Amino acid sequence: MKTRTVIAFQSPLGAPVEIIKHTFSPHGGKPVKRISFVAGLHGDELEGVALCHRLIRHLQSLKETEPEAFRGEIHIYPAANPLALATSTRLWPFFSVDMNRQMGDGTDGSLPSQTATALLEDLKSGSDLVVDFHASNLHLLELPQIRILEEFRRKLVPLATLCNMDLIWVHPSSGVFEATLGYNLNRVKIPTLVVETGICLRVHRDFQEQIFQGMLHLLRHTRILVPSGPAPRVKPPRLLQPSQVALAQARQAGLFLAEVKAGDTVPRGARLGELIDPVGGQVLEAVQAPCAGLVFTLRLHPLTYPGAPLARLAKEESDPP
Ligand SMILES: [Zn+2]
């Protein structure tokens, strides 16, 4: 494994801050394909950081025992926003800037913007395929999923299907995505899968295992890695259009106490939980499933305001519109 610094900048208080890239090269000859894994663009999303660690350890051990298994080139960027990771914040501290909204045209020359550009250019020059790991926000737990913009679906859905996800969610395109890493790489025809899983500031062991197996399967299917032994088994994901996603929202302020788990399949009208008034002592709402389906997003941060998302369901095919 070779380690290189993509960009380094001086911090006011000492050692420089660096974005690191680890590379596993093919066992001789040209790489059949080059893949990059990126984590930690949002500094409070630790799922991808832990996944990169798992991948690095696995690949290091395979390099010792079966070096001929490496046919492609694998790059891992385990901490793409080191200052934000060091402070466990989504945004780049001091600038309060979202590094995943600094990519592509219209950058402003600030340090976060220069760093985002350096990362994007490095990925463009060294990748034929990219996986960008994200976790959810502070409030909602997500089952492992890949989110795809409509305009890139033809190329990305077949690749996403290899990754052992619960869901592939196809979104309509929107201007808000145009400064993201995923959009800018897909736009220049480097297929980029944006994984969303878990909840921020946590690492979910079962999801880690599921996605790790998915990444090994992706590496094998693309022939970047051809180890001996059986291929990992992966499950087929559900492919979701926007019309197949139903949202349960809080009608008022309160405390949401869930009675289901993410991953449960529920009938229409099933109790998802209740919204209580913790001060007055009343139950404000019995929260019901808006359709029959799979609970793939669930609110874990219980405080709500009117309109707060409580759960998202992937509608059963048989559920009437
Ligand atoms: Zn993120």
Q: Where are the domains of the chain?
A: 2-238, 243-315
Q: What is the largest CA-CA distance in the chain?
A: 71
**pLDDT at residue 33, rounded to an integer:** 98
Distance 175 CA to ligand 1 centre (A): 17
Beta strands in the chain (DSSP E): 2-11, 14-24, 34-39, 73-77, 129-135, 140-149, 167-171, 192-198, 238-240, 245-249, 254-258, 265-266, 271-276, 283-288, 293-299, 303-304, 309-315
- Average pLDDT, rounded, for the chain: 95
Per-residue confidence (pLDDT) for residue 319, from 0 to 100: 64
The pLDDT value recorded for residue 268 is: 97
pLDDT score recorded for residue 94: 86
What is the 256 CA–ligand 1 centroid distance (Å)? 24
Find the 194 Cα to ligand 1 centroid distance in Å.
9
Proportion of the chain above pLDDT 90, given as a percent: 88
Per-residue pLDDT, 15:
82
In sequence order, what are the residues at sequence separation of 6 or more whose Cβ sits closer than 8 angstroms to the Cβ of residue 320?
none
Closest CA to 311 of 293, 300, 298: 298
Tokens describing residue 271: 């109790």
Task: Give the Å distance between the CA of 136 and the centre of ligand 1.
Answer: 7
Report, as an integer, the average pLDDT of 5-33.
93
Does the pLDDT of residue 77 top 80, yes or no?
yes
DSSP E strand boundaries for 40-125: 73-77
Cα(99) to centroid of ligand 1, in Å?
A: 9
pLDDT of residue 106: 66
Q: How close is the Cα of 43 to the center of ligand 1, in Å?
A: 8
- State the fold for domain 2-238: Aminopeptidase (3.40.630)
Per CATH, the number for 243-315 is 2.40.50.100
End-to-end CA distance of the chain: 52
Element (H, E) at 173: none
In this prediction the pTM is 0.96
Give the whole-angstrom CA distance, residue 187 versus residue 151.
10
Q: Which of 44-53, 142-151, 169-178, 212-221 has the lowest mean pLDDT?
A: 169-178
CA separation for the pair 43, 138 (Å, rounded): 12
